Structure 1
Amino acid sequence: MSATNFKTENNTYRKLIGNGLIYRIPSFQRDYSWTEEEWEDLWVDILGTISETGEPAHYMGYLVLQSADEKIFDVIDGQQRLTTLSLIVLAVLKNLQRLIEEGKNPDQNQQRLDQIRQTYIGYLDPVTLLSHTKLTLNRNNDHYFQTYLVPLGHLPQRGFRASEHSLRKAFEWYEKRARDYMKRQGGDEGVVLARLIETMSDRLFFTVISVTDELNAYKVFETLNARGVRLSSTDLLKNYLFSVLHKQNEHAHEMKMLEDRWESMVSRLGSESFPDFLRTHWISRKSFVRQSELFKTIRGKIIDRAAVFQLLREMEEDMDAYLALTSPEASQWPAELKRSVQQLRMFSVRQPFALILAAYRALNSVDFASVLRGCVVISFRYNVIGSQPANEQERVYYAAAQKITAGEVDTAASVLESLRSIYPTDDSFKSAFAEKVIGTNNSRSKRIVRYILCELEQQLSGQVYDFESDSFNLEHVLPQNPENGWRVFSDEEVDALRYRIGNMALLEKGRNKDIANSAYTIKKPVLLESGFALTQKLAQENADWTPERIASWQKTQAKLASAVWRIAQLT
């Protein structure tokens, strides 16, 4: 982003709102949604800054604005805070109005009311001499805001949206808090109220980021999200699609239909997951794109009404499959498919998702299951054991997805063949497996080791075990913290070998505790009595337990593993 398209500065609320500029919340931006919890937090922060012994300033966070002329700004992020601050000002004005009606210093309080209104709520147009509000809310909230709240008149309560009720309740909540504050302070009540607004406006400040168009706004979202600031790029994407329809003067019912369908998808996914879904969907059907370039790509392709609704239909078509990949337990997929997806999740692998979506759309159920299982095998060989870089792997999956979408491949065999370049050979896989170290200090890594050993056990004995069962534990033959009986291992060798796959075995619950940090001579008889064939074999084939025996045993495991995680046609 060039400097001319992007500007950042810190502004107080007074400088932001008291300078004659106009702020608009885009028509299809999110409705007002703050509740009493947020109202209370903000009010406590305000009182903390305006008290004589309080903090000299309170930081309100980022405010992302978009403007082509630096006179009228669209509020891309920060609409809830700006709206609430306007409600606080209106609540104070309502209290000033009440003082005037009660005959308490009416002339002075009328001047205060007029001045505060002009500074923070509206301004006098020098050409038309009409009053205009400085803040315009979205299409669902602005009518109530302008018609009832800004004039400080009667507030009707029936026949309105939930967000409009939230606006009214926020206004009434702050009106009471301002009145209570005024009475507690004592003295001239009008002065107290005016000082409240003036001090607040000087001590609340924002980091204001101004951009010139939607693309730069999206880049701001990406940058801030990378820094841990939670903003909704989903809203920005939504607003762009609505703007396409708005420019083509579409009927209100179509806009409402789009909004309802969009919100349904976001609700099912969660707003933070939506960008990931959109990118996966796009890659599976269109073109490869990085997350940082997604909005730019969509903006370049989705330019008319037909494209908007086609995108919507295709996203809805892919939604169930994507949710089955991210939340397999809740899906209606058969148990075999769920197991494969759960394994991908355990591996923390998402690179195949675009391919899986394409395969789910185009292949029959048998071929789809084969492709999904193939993705698990490749992920285990390439990612879990090989720890190879994922960038090139994702492009291979994308290319295969495109072939499916284009109808160039239509069987599991042809899809898997297109993945050959990311399928490690038996020799490279066995070599990597024979040296693999997986620390078991966290639950995910421990689950992976248990999974591996259960799969090897099934390959050796034919017995199927649930790797998440609590009926057995993970035994480190060389203890994680060895004591007497392990002098054959130097400190360096302990560090290098205790988390080698070859040093770990499955053992029935209770037996593991009994032998704890004991020497191998004590552990061996217990291992021989285990019901796990792989554990018995370890004890049978190793009279003692040394660095050399761990390496040898892990090579034996590697041979078994090459038969478990295998795609026959690629081997």
Structure 2
Amino acid sequence: MTATNFSTENRTYRQLLGNGLTYRIPPFQRDYSWGEEEWEDLWLDIQSTLPADGEPAHYMGYLVLQTVDNRVFEVIDGQQRLTTLSLIVLAAMRLLKRLISSGVEAEANQIRLTQLRASYIGYLNPVTLMTQNKLSLNRQNDPYYRDYLVTLTDPLPQRGFPASTLTMRKAFEWFERRLNEYTRTDSDQGRALAQFIETMSDKLFFTVITVADELNAYRVFETLNARGVRLSATDLLKNYLFSVLARGQQATGELEELERRWERLVGRLGSESFPDFLRMHWNSRYSFARQSELFKTIRSRIQSREAVFTLLREMDEDVDTYLALTQPEGSDWPSDWKISARELRLFSVRQPYPMLMAARRRFAEQDFARLLRATVVISFRYNVIGSRHPGEQERLYHEVAKKIHEGTITNVHLALQALYPIYRSDAAFRADFAEKSIKTTQSRNARIVRYILSKLERQVGGIEFDQDSPAYTIEHILPQSPDAGWDAFSDRDIDSFIYRLGNMTMLESSRNKDAANKPFAQKRAIYKDSQFHLTKKLADEEEWTPERLAARQHEMARLASAIWRIDL
């Protein structure tokens, strides 16, 4: 991103609203949505700056703006904060107006009211009596903001308006009450109200990022999201799609249809999950795009009204599959499909999703079920046990997804042949498994170990048990904090062997407490009474040494290669 297309600086709220600058929230940006929790947090933040010995300043976060002339700015991210601050100013102004109407310091308060309007809200046209506002809201909220809040209507109308507009009215009235409570005991309430707004404006500051176009804004979002700042890239794409439709003639009906379908889609996914879904959807049909390239790729392809609605239709086609993969518990998939989806989620493997989305569209149900199960096996061998780099895997999954979408790969047999390069062979898998360590101090890792041990137990003993049940736990044969009696393991060996798969077994929770850190000779009697076949078999061991641990893990690897396998 070149310097001419991107700038950043810190500005106070006063500096933002000065020098004739105006701000517009795009017409189809999301509606006002802050509630009492956010209002309360902001109020407390402002209050902390008011005392003479209070905070010297309060940071309001990033504000992402787009402009072509450095005079008029579109608010890409930050609309909730800017709108709420404007409502606070307007609340103070209506309290001043009431003081004037009551004859309280009428002349001085009129000057204050006029000055606040000019500094933070806009100027009143003397002919039309309409305000040229410094801030314009979206198409749902701006009429109420412009016609009733900015004009300080008292009382405010309540019926016949969108829900978000009523939320905005409630915010205005909430801050009006708080301001009145805060200033009413002052001997000069009008002065106290004006001082409150002036202090707030000087002590609240933003990091303002200004970009020249949507593409640079999207790149900013990617950078900030990588640093843990959550921004609305979803809204940016929405605004772009609306801008494409708005170029045409008589587009009102199409805009409303896009609004309806978009809100339904984002409502099902959640705005935070939408960018991930969009990338999976795109990569299941078109050329591969990383998240950082996605907006640029879509913008280059979606340039007509027809393309906008094709994108919507295709996203609708894929959303059920994405939700079933990521949230299988709420889907209507068959139970065996749900189990496979949960296993992929447990493995934290998402690279196959575009391929699976393409297969769900194109394959018969039986073929899709086989491919889904095969994907679990490949992921277990390649990712969980093999710990292979996912780059090659992601590229291959995308190639297969594209061929399925285009009709080159028409069944599961052809798909599995194409996936052969990332299927770890039995020999390679057994070698990986025989050396595998998984540190169970991390909760996800502990769930994976329970999963592995439960599958092995079913293979050798036919026992089915709830691997997530608190009635069972992972027993480390060589304890994590060994006492006396473990002389076969040096201090260096202890660190190397505790989390080896061969050193772990399932045990009833009550028996695990009995086993604790005891020597192996005492643990054997506890293992003998366990219901688990692999655990009971440990009682046949005369001693527990690095050699016996390695031998057990090799046997487990042999069993695993029979459980997690597909016929390619």
TM-score range, shorter-chain basis? over 0.9
What corresponds to 2:559 in structure 1? 560
Give the 3 Å change call, closer, same or farther, for CA 525–101 of structure 1 in structure 2. closer
Q: CA deviation at 1:14?
A: 1.0
Q: Unmatched 5+ residue regions in structure 1?
A: none
AA aligned opposite 1:2: T
AA aligned opposite 1:97: K
**CA deviation map 1:490-522 (0-9, x unaligned):** 011011001111111223343333232222222
Give the 3 Å change call, closer, same or farther, for CA 87–529 of structure 1 in structure 2. closer
Separation of aligned partners in 2, 1:197 and 1:457:
68
**CA deviation map 1:266-301 (0-9, x unaligned):** 121111111000100000011211011111111111
SS of the aligned residue for 2:48 comes to helix
AA aligned opposite 1:181: Y
Query: Does the 8 Å contact 1:473/1:506 carry over to 2?
Result: yes
Separation of aligned partners in 1, 2:197 and 2:533:
77
2:543 is the alignment partner of 1:548: no
Provide TM-score, normalisation by structure 2: 0.96
AA aligned opposite 2:179: A
Query: Does the 8 Å contact 2:131/2:150 carry over to 1?
Result: no
2:146 is the alignment partner of 1:156: no
Query: Does the 8 Å contact 1:472/1:507 carry over to 2?
Result: yes
What corresponds to 1:330 in structure 2? 330
**CA deviation map 1:178-220 (0-9, x unaligned):** 333332222x333222222222211111111100000111111
What corresponds to 2:215 in structure 1? 215
Separation of aligned partners in 2, 1:445 and 1:543:
30
Separation of aligned partners in 1, 2:293 and 2:494:
47
Give the 3 Å change call, closer, same or farther, for CA 197–521 of structure 1 in structure 2. closer
2:160 is the alignment partner of 1:182: no
Query: Does the 8 Å contact 1:385/1:436 carry over to 2?
Result: yes
Query: Does the 8 Å contact 2:7/2:209 carry over to 1?
Result: yes
Summarize the alignment of residues 529-544 of structure 1 with structure 2, pairs less than 5 Å apart: 529-540=529-540, 542-544=541-543
Query: Does the 8 Å contact 1:538/1:553 carry over to 2?
Result: no
Summarize the alignment of residues 130-529 of structure 1 with structure 2, pairs less than 5 Å apart: 131-154=131-154, 155-186=156-187, 188-529=188-529
Query: Does the 8 Å contact 1:288/1:398 carry over to 2?
Result: yes
Q: CA deviation at 1:75?
A: 0.4
How many residues are matched? 567
AA aligned opposite 2:140: N
SS of the aligned residue for 1:266 comes to helix
What corresponds to 2:14 in structure 1? 14
Q: CA deviation at 1:16?
A: 0.6
Separation of aligned partners in 1, 2:129 and 2:462:
87
Q: CA deviation at 1:47?
A: 2.6
SS of the aligned residue for 2:488 comes to coil
Give the 3 Å change call, closer, same or farther, for CA 262–103 of structure 1 in structure 2. same
Query: Does the 8 Å contact 2:520/2:544 carry over to 1?
Result: yes
Give the 3 Å change call, closer, same or farther, for CA 538–152 of structure 1 in structure 2. same
Separation of aligned partners in 1, 2:463 and 2:194:
79
What corresponds to 2:96 in structure 1? 96
Separation of aligned partners in 1, 2:466 and 2:111:
77
SS of the aligned residue for 1:473 comes to strand
Q: CA deviation at 1:172?
A: 2.0
Q: CA deviation at 1:529?
A: 4.1
Q: CA deviation at 1:124?
A: 7.1
AA aligned opposite 2:480: Q
AA aligned opposite 1:75: V
AA aligned opposite 2:185: R
AA aligned opposite 2:410: D
Q: Unmatched 5+ residue regions in structure 2?
A: none
Give the 3 Å change call, closer, same or farther, for CA 189–485 of structure 1 in structure 2. closer
Separation of aligned partners in 2, 1:528 and 1:177:
69
Q: CA deviation at 1:525?
A: 3.8
Give the 3 Å change call, closer, same or farther, for CA 99–425 of structure 1 in structure 2. same
Provide TM-score, normalisation by structure 1: 0.95
Query: Does the 8 Å contact 1:20/1:123 carry over to 2?
Result: no
Separation of aligned partners in 2, 1:34 and 1:531:
55
**CA deviation map 1:401-430 (0-9, x unaligned):** 111001111111110111111111111111
Q: CA deviation at 1:250?
A: 4.6
Give the 3 Å change call, closer, same or farther, for CA 528–70 of structure 1 in structure 2. same
Separation of aligned partners in 2, 1:132 and 1:138:
16
SS of the aligned residue for 1:62 comes to strand
Give the 3 Å change call, closer, same or farther, for CA 37–449 of structure 1 in structure 2. closer
SS of the aligned residue for 2:268 comes to helix
Superposition CA RMSD, Å: 2.0
Give the 3 Å change call, closer, same or farther, for CA 509–194 of structure 1 in structure 2. closer
Identity, % of aligned pairs?
A: 60
Separation of aligned partners in 1, 2:380 and 2:6:
44
Separation of aligned partners in 2, 1:63 and 1:510:
55
Q: CA deviation at 1:372?
A: 0.5
AA aligned opposite 2:563: V
Summarize the alignment of residues 100-115 of structure 1 with structure 2, pairs less than 5 Å apart: 100-115=100-115
Separation of aligned partners in 2, 1:190 and 1:454:
72
